[in-house]
Amino acid sequence: MEGYKVCVLAVVWVLIFSPVAHSWGVDGHLTVCRIAQSRLSEAAADAVKKLLPESAEGDLGSECSWADRVKFRYHWSSALHYIDTPDDLCTFQYNRDCKDEDGVMDRFNDLMNNAELVHTDNLTEALLFLSHFMGDIHQPLHVGFTSDRGGNTIDIHWYRTKTVLHHVWDTSMIETFETRSYDSNPDGLIAAIQANITGEWADQVKAWETCGSNVTTCPNRYASEGIKAACDWAYKGVSEDSVLQGK
Ligand SMILES: [Zn+2]
What is the DSSP secondary-structure string of 96-146? Answer: HH--STT-HHHHHHHHHH-GGGGT---HHHHHHHHHHHHHHHTSGGGEEET
What is the band of 218 on the pLDDT scale with cuts at 50, 70, 90? confident
What's the 88 CA to ligand 1 centre distance in angstroms? Answer: 23
For residue 38, report the distance from its CA to the centre of ligand 1, in Å.
Answer: 21
User: Residue 37's closest CA among 68, 11, 62?
Assistant: 62
**119 exposed, middle or buried (CB, 10 Å; 0-12, 13-18, 19+)?**
middle
> Cα 146–16–39 angle (5° rounding)?
85
> For residue 105, how many C-alpha atoms fall within 13 Å in the half-sphere facing its CB?
23
CA of 133 to the centre of ligand 1 (A): 6
Q: How far, in Å, from the CA of 177 to the mean position of ligand 1?
A: 21
Mean pLDDT (the chain) is 83
Sign of CA dihedral 18, 24, 29, 34: positive
234-243 per-position pLDDT tens digit: 999 999 999 9
Instruction: Supply the pLDDT for residue 215.
Output: 74
Note the pTM of the prediction, 2 decimals: 0.83
Q: What is the arithmetic mean of pLDDT over 130-146?
A: 92
Give the Cα separation of 201 and 198 in Å (integer).
7
Which residues make up the environment of ion ligand 1, defined by Cβ < 5 Å?
11, 81, 136
- 115-143: average pLDDT: 81
**Percentage of the chain surpassing pLDDT 90?**
58
Distance 142 CA to ligand 1 centre (A): 8
Confidence (pLDDT) at 212: 79
What is 26-244's CATH topology? P1 Nuclease (1.10.575)
Residues 6 or more apart in contact with residue 42 via CB below 8 angstroms: none
Domain ranges of the chain: 26-244
Q: What is the mean pLDDT of the segment spanning 25-47? A: 92
The H or E element containing residue 244 is strand 243-244
- Helix, strand, or coil (residue 17): helix
Q: Please, what's the b/e burial string for 126-163 (b: 16 or more CB within 10 A of its CB; e: otherwise)?
A: bbbbbbbbbbbbbbbbbbbbeebbbbbebebebeeeeb
Give the pLDDT score at 26. Answer: 84
